[in-house]
Amino acid sequence: MALTVLLLDTSAYSAAKRGHPDAVAAVRRADRLILTPIVLAELHAGFLLGRNLRRNEAELETFVASSRVTVVDVDAETALRYAVIYQGLREAGTPIPTNDIWIAASAMQHGCAVLTADRHFAKVAQILVEILEGPGGR
């Protein structure tokens, strides 16, 4: 039986924390969860702009400390995959935000699906995507 490995986009982490039923279920069913430094940066930036900095930082620290969670490096291999994705999106005329190309490149590199509420990830032909519906889905 294959392991379920999901790379959480910022929107998916946030949706799970808000109790979005599909996000919570996906996080619970996954054998492994992956975060990237890009997702961590987006989360920390959001926390700094919000009203619950200490609580949010503590919850993220606890989440990252879980044995099911891995923070992967962005390295030279990720950069090569970024270039492939960028080229494909550009040729198709379907750009997406730069940070999301990095997140997609990490998913491609590690062979896992991206869990997200952002529909534009579906434009990335090189990855599998699970898009959250309902509140939080964009």
pLDDT at position 133: 87
Q: What are 24-60's pLDDT values in tens digits?
A: 999 999 999 999 999 999 999 999 999 999 999 999 9
Domain ranges (residues) in the chain? 5-131
Asked whether 39 and 105 are in contact (CB, 8 A), the reply is: no
pLDDT at res. 97: 97
CA distance 14 to 118: 12
**Beta bridge mates, 114:** 7, 129
Q: Which residue has the tokens 């291999």?
A: 77
CATH topology of domain 5-131: Rossmann fold (3.40.50)
Q: Tell me: the pLDDT tens digits for 98-131?
A: 999 999 999 999 999 999 999 999 999 999 999 9
pTM summary value: 0.93
Q: Where are the alpha helices (DSSP H) in the chain?
A: 10-17, 21-29, 37-49, 53-65, 76-92, 98-110
Q: Which band of pLDDT confidence, cut at 50, 70 and 90, is reported for residue 2? A: confident
* Residue 115 burial class via C-beta count within 10 angstroms: exposed 0-12, middle 13-18, buried 19 and up: buried
Rounded Cα distance between 89 and 107, Å, is 16
Per-residue pLDDT tens digits for 58-107: 999 999 999 999 999 999 999 999 999 999 999 999 999 999 999 999 99
